[in-house]
Each structure stands twice: as C-alpha cells, then as structure tokens.
Amino acid sequence: MELQKHKLSSKSYTSIDIEDHHQQSNKSVGDITLVDDLHQLIDLPYACSIEPTASTPFVLSFVDLSYGVSKISPKMVLPFCQNNRDDHETGTKLLLDTISGQAREGEILAVLGASGSGKSTLIDALAGRIEKESLKGAVTLNGQVLESRVLKTISAYVMQDDLLFPMLTVEETLMFSAEFRLPRSLSKPIKQARVQALIDQLGLRSVAKTMIGDEGHRGVSGGERRRVSIGVDIIHDPILLLLDEPTSGLDSTSAFMVVKVLQGIAKSGSIVIMSIHQPSNRIVSLLDNLIFLSRGQTIYSGKLTSLLQFFEEFGHPIPENKNPTEFALDLIHEFEESSDQITSLVEFNKSWAQTQTIKNPNKLCDKPNIALEDAIKARISKGKLVSTATSDSNSINSVPTFVNPFWIETIVIAKRLFTNSRRMPKLFAIRLFVTLVAGLMLATLFRHLDVSPKGIDSRLGFSSFGISVIFFICLEEIPRCFQERYIFMREAAFNAYRTSSYVLAHSIVSVPSLIVLSFTFVITTFWIVDLAGGFSGFLFFFFLIFASFWAGCSFMAFISGLVSHYLLAVSIGVAFSALFILFSGNFISSNEIPPYWIWFHYISIVKYPFQGILQNEYGDSTKCFVRGLQFFDYSPLAGVSDSTKIKLLESISNVLGTSVTSSTCLVNGTRVLELKGDTNIGKWTYLWITIAWGFFFMVLFYFTLLFGRKNKRR
C-alpha cells in the first residue's frame, strides 16, 4: 500500500477549517487537530476523490411530495352505541404539502423549520422511509426513480439519536461497520486503511482509542459521538447522505464541527441533505441551499443570498447583523399564529419562485448531463460507493442487497456483541451473583430431602420455585435486547446485514453466559438438596436448567422485539412468567385445570422443565415414598401409637382383600407423577421440548425484527 503526501488547502475535505471560528491555524481547537501543511492520503481503489467531479454530477430532485396521516376526533365511542361515521371529525392532516426541491452533489441542502413543521418527515420521504402508497410525488436521482434496494445501497441515513455500543472504541466501532458494509473481497488492510482515512476526515484521531461510553462509563464528547454516528453510516462512501437534526443537543462549537465535517463529505462527491432547527451564523455560512417549512408547506427554497431579497420583497427586510435564518424562523413562528398570515407567505413564495424562474430561465436546465447508471459506473471506477465497487457489471440493477454472505455477517456481529459484553463484567457479575444467591437459598431451605411423604411436597416446591427463579432471572435479558435492537434497527434499515445473521449471532453470544449461570445454579443445589440420579441425574439436571435459561431468555428476546417500550416489555415479561408458573402443574395439576384453560397449561414453557425434574425424581417406579405406617402421617390418626396403626392396617387389609403391612409401598414414583398429571413421555423428551420452545421464540424474535426493521411510516 502506497502512501502519498499531498499539500492541500484548508478547504480540503480531509481537514477542518475553523478559521472563521477562532482565527487559528495549525492548532488544536476543541477536539479537532488541524493540519494545514501535509495530509496523508491513501492511494486505494475506494479513496474519495479530493476534487468534485463536475463531469458526472448527481442531482436529487423531489417534486410535489405530499404525505398525510388520518386524524379522528378523540371523542369516546362506546362499543354498544350506534354511531355514524359522520358524527366524528375525520380527515387527513398533511405533514408534507406539495414540497419540491433539488439537491446537488458537493452541496449541503438544509431543511429548516420549527418543531412539527415537517423537517423530519421530508428527510424520511427522501430516505425511502415512507410507504410508497402513502407518499405522493416523485423522488429521482439524475432523473431516475430509485428502487428501495438501490437507494439503500447508495445512500446513508443518520438518525437523530446516537445509537452506538458504549464499550467499543471509536476505531472499533468504525471497523466493525467496515466489516458489515464493505465487501469480503476487500482485504482487511484495505478496510483498516479506509477506517483510518475516515477517522482523519471526521477529526477523530485524538479519540480513536477512546471508548464511546454511556451514562455509567466515561467516553467521547457529544459532538464526537455524533461524528462517530455519521462515520458508521458513511463507511461505504455513499452518494446520498441524509441526516435528521445532526446538531441536536450539541453546543455551538460541536455543532459547527459536525456541519464542517458534513461540508467536507459533500465536497468529496456526495449529496448531503440535513434537517436543522436553528443554525448559528457560522453554520449558516456552510450551507449551500435552504428550505424553510411551516406546517408541511414550503415558505422558501433557494440560496442564502436570495433569502435576504425574498423577505425584502415580502415587506419584512432582514436587519443588518441579524442571523437571516433566525429572523426567518422567528417571523414564520409569528405568522403561524394566524392561518391567513402564513398562507400569504406561502402564496408569496409561489409567486416569487415563478418570478425568479422567469428572470433566470437557465435554472430550468439545471439537470444532470449524464444518466444515473453511467454516473454510478464512473464513480465506482474512481473509488466511490465502496460497497458495490466489486460488482462485475457495475450496474445499478445488479447491486446486491447485502455485500457480505450470511456467515461473514454472523461472525462479525457475534464478535462485536461479545466484545461489548466482555467489557461490561459487572452486568454479568450481577446476574451470576443473583443466580448464586438464589441457588444457595433454595439449597439451604430444601437441604437433604428424604423420601418420606413430607419429602414429596418439598421436592415439588423446590422444583417449581427453582424453575420460577430462572425465568425471573431471564428478565435481565430485556435491557440487553433493547440496547441491541435500537442499533439493529438503524443498521439493518439500510441492509448492513441480514436479520437472520443478527438473531443467530445474538443466540451464539448468549450461550456461554447461560452455561455459566446454569452450572452455578446446579452445583449449588443438586448435591445439597440431594436430588435423585447420581452423576447422570446431575448431568440431566444441568441440561434441563440450561434449557430453561435458553427458553426463558428467548421468550424475553421475543417480547423485546414485539413491543417498543422497555417498561411495557418488562411488564409483559413479568405477567407471562407468573402465568406460566401458575399453569405449570404444581399449584394446580392438569387434572384439575378447567377445560377452557387447559390450552394455557400446554403452552406454559415452565411446565416442561418442571415435569422434567419430576420425571428425574419420581421416574423410578421401584422407589417408594409412602409405606404402611406413613399412610397415617397426614391424617387425624397421626398421633396414635404404632400398634394401633398396625391394627388399622389389618382392618384395611380385610376390607380390601389384600395384605397391607407396615412395610407395604403405598405410593411409589409413578403414583406421584400420576397425581401431578404427568403424561409419562420421558424426561429427555421434556428436555428437548424445552429446548424447542427456545428455538421457537427465537424464530418469533426473528420475525418481529424482520417486520420491524422496515420502520416506515404508513
């Protein structure tokens, strides 16, 4: 790999020019180190072109975009009332009302407006995050409508929230993203070089080895996190970059740094479209085109310089030394209090735009001079769009949905999940401690159980409560799944990897911890409680406890994928765990469950490990638990003398016509299983059914993520 040194101006995309901010050069400002003299550029097939290639421009156009949602009056309708539809206020609220505009390569298009003006909705529309049936109008790139698969390949969407694994370093985060988004045909040194070049481009060199961090762990700053989030999504060097309020929550300096980085990305040959709430003067100077929205309507669309003329002709000139965008937003907010005033501003924009078109007829010809497929081919040949650079045909119609095979994705995801989990030992230590304490408490409470009638009840209690504890420990799976799910939704929405790859990797990574937890619980309970079976029984008990952990955690993962709120998922998990325990067969046997509830007994995933333990304990028909004299232990005759009990047994023998002595076995293991409604299908069968439940819920988890990953507005 050859490294070349180039002298670049401070406007190069690989450096960050903040001379407007602090009038400094060759100094460290904030968290970005400026290097004005020499920049090391890597001569690789994917490297970004330094100068915009005007011969093959990309132009994104959107015409008459409209999107609305149905609204219904909040009046309460009782199900037994006969109400006509006309009795309710129904209709459609337009979030976008015939929005049109254009964004060119090398420029930043900023969408401005107050909260609820439609900024994020417009970004979602351009990113293909609204169902086609719901969105009216057209979005084209170089005059061609993009298919969803192609759009996901050549674009990137940066969400407002920075969803990153907290225990990975900046460099590791970008490297894992490179493993996902860059094809397997590129060698690891090339991917590493791409990451290093991107770190320099984002101004993250000083924190490359720093962990991302979260509330409980120190890490990078908010501005650096935002730039890492951008880097994750542009690792494949996309043509189109869309960002939803990338400066939200940042201080003015960090916000300026982020937009300065975006300017560099645009100059490297990308279209950058971002929504922003209220930019500072320094940020405004970096923006090329502006679109102001109010209630889903266009207030202004054009250059910053034309904004002054626009409001002057409208009769509200922008004062000198006043931030033009701040003045415009304040005026729009004032006009929004009156529908007539905001309508007049919208109508003025339409007439003013027509006037400008007449004055500048060349603007009608502002179209790309090359077809989209040819433009993409040209860019791929120059190193743009890394994820498709290995395509033999270089055709947009042959762009693969995923750039890596299933097994590569699974390995990379598993490695990332394991690395993040390994650096949070406290979380696992807490789960291990809870399991250890629960096991010791159960062991000391039920220690050395005998084979007496009292021992029967005690073994049933241990079996039921032991399995119950495991399922409640599995509730700790929910927060982990939610953290991973948010990141999965962001990455999988643009086909970084398959849903099946993530689900398999998630399952693989969880197995070692479940083995440790299972062994801890078994080793602290089996010998002290004196469960049956010897060493073979110990092994079976271990496998059954592991299967219980596996089924319980799979169920919690499914719940986490099914609902979108953490507290709701915990509530559902607790409620269903309690119901599974109730219908497991201990508190009420299957023989006594009403017919209309018996179905819940069979779908209770607690039933099968519980019955498996019972089979292990009572499956031996030669083992006796109640003999002759013990028959009276739980009756009013328990206090009489043994001689009296023997006479009573003789009387019973005469009545029954069979010999019943003090040593006669009255209740063996088979009888205990019959009393608990066991079907005698074998303990190993119960084990495999429990494992199958775990796989079943993982399949359901897969489908919840598969349908949820679309994350499109309807």
The verdict on residue 323 lying in a domain is yes
What percent of the chain has a predicted confidence (pLDDT) above 70? 81
DSSP string computed for 646-671: HHHHHHHHHHHTS---TT-EEEEHHH
pLDDT of residue 412: 95
**Residue of 589, 665, 584, 659 lying closest to 631 (CA atoms):** 665
- State how far the Cα of 237 lies from the Cα of 387, in Å rounded to an integer: 8
The verdict on residue 547 lying in a domain is yes
440 and 365 fall within a common domain: no
Amino acid at 564: S
Amino acid at 373: E
The verdict on residue 391 lying in a domain is no
Joined tokens for residue 396: 């947009």
Query: Residue 291 CA to chain centroid, in angstroms?
Result: 31
Joined tokens for residue 99: 């929005």
Phi, psi of 432 (to 5 degrees): -65, -40
pLDDT of residue 530: 86
What average pLDDT does range 303-328 have in this prediction?
88
- State how far the Cα of 329 lies from the Cα of 472, in Å rounded to an integer: 52
What confidence tier does 36 reach under pLDDT thresholds 50, 70, 90?
very low
pLDDT of residue 195: 94
Is the per-residue pLDDT at 395 higher than 70? no
pLDDT of residue 269: 86
What confidence tier does 146 reach under pLDDT thresholds 50, 70, 90?
confident
pLDDT of residue 23: 37
322 and 432 fall within a common domain: no
What confidence tier does 511 reach under pLDDT thresholds 50, 70, 90?
very high
Phi, psi of 335 (to 5 degrees): -70, -25
The total domain count for the chain is 2
Cα angle value 694/698/702 (rounded, 5°)? 170
Q: Which residues contact 512 (CB under 8 A, 6 or more apart)?
A: none
Joined tokens for residue 540: 């079976």
What confidence tier does 89 reach under pLDDT thresholds 50, 70, 90?
very low
Is the per-residue pLDDT at 143 higher than 50? yes
**Residue of 96, 11, 22 lying closest to 52 (CA atoms):** 11
324 and 365 fall within a common domain: yes
CATH code for the domain of 326: 3.40.50.300
Cα angle value 173/179/181 (rounded, 5°)? 100
pLDDT of residue 184: 85
pLDDT of residue 37: 32
277 and 426 fall within a common domain: no
What confidence tier does 367 reach under pLDDT thresholds 50, 70, 90?
low
Is the per-residue pLDDT at 52 higher than 50? no
131 and 267 fall within a common domain: yes
**Residue, of 8 and 580, whose pLDDT is higher:** 580
- State how far the Cα of 306 lies from the Cα of 11, in Å rounded to an integer: 24
β-bridge pairing 108-112 and 271-276: parallel
The whole-chain average pLDDT of the chain stands at: 81
419 and 518 fall within a common domain: yes
290 and 420 fall within a common domain: no
pLDDT of residue 568: 93
161 and 298 fall within a common domain: yes
Is the per-residue pLDDT at 35 higher than 70? no
The verdict on residue 18 lying in a domain is no
- State how far the Cα of 66 lies from the Cα of 54, in Å rounded to an integer: 32
pLDDT of residue 19: 35
What are the pLDDT digits (tens) for 467-486? Answer: 999 999 999 999 999 989 98
Q: Which residues pair with 41 in a beta bridge?
A: 4
Handedness of CA 417, 422, 428, 430 (dihedral sign): negative
Phi, psi of 344 (to 5 degrees): -65, -35
pLDDT of residue 42: 34
The angle, 0 to 180 degrees and rounded to 10, between the axes of the packed helices 304-314 and 324-335 is 40
**Residue, of 458 and 625, whose pLDDT is higher:** 458
Amino acid at 113: G
Is the per-residue pLDDT at 220 higher than 50? yes
- State how far the Cα of 528 lies from the Cα of 536, in Å rounded to an integer: 16
What are the pLDDT digits (tens) for 636-686? Answer: 666 677 677 777 777 777 777 777 776 777 777 777 777 776 666 888 999
- State how far the Cα of 601 lies from the Cα of 620, in Å rounded to an integer: 25
Query: Residue 190 CA to chain centroid, in angstroms?
Result: 29
pLDDT of residue 91: 67
- State how far the Cα of 346 lies from the Cα of 246, in Å rounded to an integer: 27
pLDDT of residue 363: 55
pLDDT of residue 692: 97
What are the pLDDT digits (tens) for 699-708? Answer: 999 999 998 7
567 and 426 fall within a common domain: yes
- State how far the Cα of 328 lies from the Cα of 344, in Å rounded to an integer: 15
The verdict on residue 657 lying in a domain is no
**Residue, of 11 and 645, whose pLDDT is higher:** 645
SS3 404: coil
Is the per-residue pLDDT at 337 higher than 90? no
**Residue, of 35 and 244, whose pLDDT is higher:** 244
pLDDT of residue 134: 86
β-bridge pairing 271-276 and 240-244: parallel
What are the pLDDT digits (tens) for 161-174? Answer: 888 999 999 999 99
pLDDT of residue 29: 36
461 and 375 fall within a common domain: no
Is the per-residue pLDDT at 4 higher than 70? no
204 and 315 fall within a common domain: yes
Using a 10 angstrom Cβ sphere, with 0-12 exposed, 13-18 middle and 19 or more buried, the burial of residue 446 is buried
pLDDT of residue 420: 93
- State how far the Cα of 342 lies from the Cα of 15, in Å rounded to an integer: 42
What confidence tier does 99 reach under pLDDT thresholds 50, 70, 90?
very high
Least confident of 535-544, 565-574, 664-673: 664-673
The verdict on residue 157 lying in a domain is yes
β-bridge pairing 240-244 and 155-158: parallel
- State how far the Cα of 13 lies from the Cα of 628, in Å rounded to an integer: 92
The verdict on residue 238 lying in a domain is yes
The verdict on residue 209 lying in a domain is yes
Q: What is the model's pTM?
A: 0.81
Handedness of CA 149, 155, 159, 160 (dihedral sign): negative
What average pLDDT does range 510-515 have in this prediction?
96
pLDDT of residue 541: 95
**Residue, of 395 and 279, whose pLDDT is higher:** 279
Joined tokens for residue 434: 């809870």
442 and 297 fall within a common domain: no
What confidence tier does 318 reach under pLDDT thresholds 50, 70, 90?
confident
Residue 696's domain comprises 406-624+669-708
CA dihedral 370, 374, 376, 381 (to 10 degrees): -120
